[in-house]
Chain A
């Protein structure tokens, strides 16, 4: 941990993510209004950044076409975007660990079948699956989490499979089996805990990617629906006003880039800090 924070990239990534999470959690403290609040639309819309409107409200990032404060929406949108990203990745980590762990540890016909399913799922064009699944039910944050989680577990399953295969032949695992521990206990208590680090790194990198995809779905109108702000639907709504109010689309995009860069740098730093300990995964992740 200290090694990660001594790395400049790790420190930068950790600080940015910490600030983003704090701002999202403490949203009511860092901004005064509600994300949907608007007054007289005609006089308060399209205020440029750093202006005070006719009601004396200060807008650090300006207002959108309905006179809503972009900073407030950005902060509340962070709750949605970060929350969706983290939960979707947790879902794919759960599926990927289960599939990859079972395939790597038991092997045999079950393992082959699970690997086959994984490779098959990798070959399905993800965007087609996303479009179809997103069209199944009314778009909502929960649906986006399920859809992104269910289409993002394959690379994790492969990673876990490789790690588990490597660990399964190590002496301490043989020792645990020799001592009479059940197969399931060996996998759960001895093998998976030792495969945790690469899983965590892959998850950190995956969160960034997932936030971008969530924004993409919202951008196409298939994700989180307005008036609930998410960074994706904020960019989408700013698209229409890009000529006279470019800040509406620029602000959430910049926030998105910052968070994704932070995830990537933190993942890189963790990977480098532990690359001496595990041999097989450092290249798979880069």
Chain B
């Protein structure tokens, strides 16, 4: 068990290193250069060369890669080329917003999604099931940035209930404790609703499918045959088995969720890592892109690892197998 886990952690580390290496070289081979953008069109070649030397960009690429790796392993992410601020500082400001948004939306969309999926599976084929299916397939199809826009149109401009963008009001620093909390929650409402609505659609569809798969198994028929009430059959026999693929999905959906949150952050001007990343890529701000990619790759891989461990916790049969090396 421990050896298997160690093997998984090692592979995960190799994957992160691979992602980081790939990003480094793809980023450097991309046309456009931060120094030209930093100094503007009036800079002389001598000024450009001096700035490149100051930033270490005149070194050969492999040497730069080794230097970056050596520094970042020690936790030194360097300074942003575009703003001059420490990268660690920029990310430390941005990550809590993104992680809070993603974490909350994940919890809520799984809670609602599992509830809706269970309800559908237990009433499969009825009008309730059909109506909810229409709802979930529609939610699943809506692009996040468009749903965000429509919610802004309805709740910010139409009803004038909720703020349209940002994570806090302009006057947030002058508010007292409770008022500041209320301000935060108001700003959180629309981006969170966007992510949760879309998440519920996908999760409910998946849970319904997984539960219907289990419902046809002989052991469910046997449990019913023994006279167990439907509620107990559903909770003890069906849900536990249906949760296995759902937990796997949780791990696999993290990268997708991260992609989605970048777009939603763009719509709501949410001060998270998505905005930092988009701006940094456009400005070819190498240190910022590298740091943001590394942290997101770490999070994605850690999420997959966590999902594997959770699966083993849900399903005793898999405790040795799933965490072990992949079958050849």
Contacts and interface: CB of A to CB of B under 8 A. Distances in A.
Q: Do A and B associate with each other?
A: yes
Interface of A: 112, 119-120, 122-133, 135-137, 208, 212-213, 215-216, 219-220, 235, 238-239, 242-243, 246, 249-250, 253, 256-257, 260-261, 264-265, 268, 283, 286
Contact of B328 (A112, A128, A239): A112
B141 interface: yes
B296 interface: yes
Given A123-B301, A249-B146, A257-B142, A286 B206 contact: yes
A283 B242 CA distance: 11
B150 A250 contact: yes
Contacts of A122: 255
B259 A253 contact: no
Q: 8 shortest A-B CB distances, which residue pairs?
A: A260-B141, A286-B209, A253-B146, A127-B259, A131-B281, A261-B141, A212-B143, A123-B15
B149 A235 contact: yes
Nearest to A136: B30
Contact of A257 (B30, B141, B267): B141
Contacts of A243: 153, 157
A137 B137 CA distance: 35
A132 B23 contact: yes
B contacts with A: majority SS: helix
A249 B149 contact: yes
Given A235-B146, A256-B143, A124 B266 contact: no
A133 B27 CA distance: 9
Contact of B281 (A120, A132, A261, A268): A132
Given A242-B157, A265-B137, A123 B304 contact: yes
Contacts of B301: 123
Band of interface residues on B = 35 or more
Contact of B152 (A120, A242, A257, A260): A242
Given A123-B15, A242-B157, A250-B150, A257 B138 contact: yes
Given A125-B297, A127-B259, A261-B141, 15 more contacts: A122-B255, A124-B23, A128-B292, A132-B27, A136-B29, A212-B141, A219-B263, A235-B143, A242-B153, A249-B150, A256-B146, A261-B137, A268-B137, A283-B245, A286-B205
A219 B145 contact: yes
B207 to A, nearest CB: 10
Most B Cβ at <10 Å: residue of A128, A129, A213? A128
A275 B56 CA distance: 58
A120 B277 contact: no
Contacts of B30: 132, 135-136
A123 B137 contact: no
A176 to B, nearest CB: 25
Contacts of B213: 283
Contacts of A127: 258-259, 262, 274, 277
A235 B145 contact: yes
Interface of B: 15-16, 18-19, 22-23, 26-27, 29-32, 137-138, 140-143, 145-146, 149-150, 152-153, 157, 205-206, 209-210, 213, 245, 255-256, 258-259, 262-263, 266-267, 274, 277-278, 281-282, 292-293, 296-297, 300-301, 304, 328
Contacts of A215: 143, 146
Contacts of B142: 253, 257, 260
A126 B263 contact: no
B277 A128 contact: yes
B98 to A, nearest CB: 12
A253 B150 contact: yes
A82 to B, nearest CB: 15
A60 to B, nearest CB: 20
A11 B143 CA distance: 24
B134 to A, nearest CB: 9
7 contacts: A120-B18, A129-B26, A216-B143, A220-B263, A265-B137, A268-B137, A283-B213
Contacts of B18: 120
**Which has the most chain B C-beta neighbours within 10 Å: A122, A131, A242?**
A131
Contact of B19 (A124, A219, A265): A124
A264 B137 contact: yes
B259 A126 contact: yes
Contacts of B277: 127-128, 131
Given A125-B259, A264-B140, A216 B145 contact: yes
Contacts of B22: 124
Contacts of A137: 31
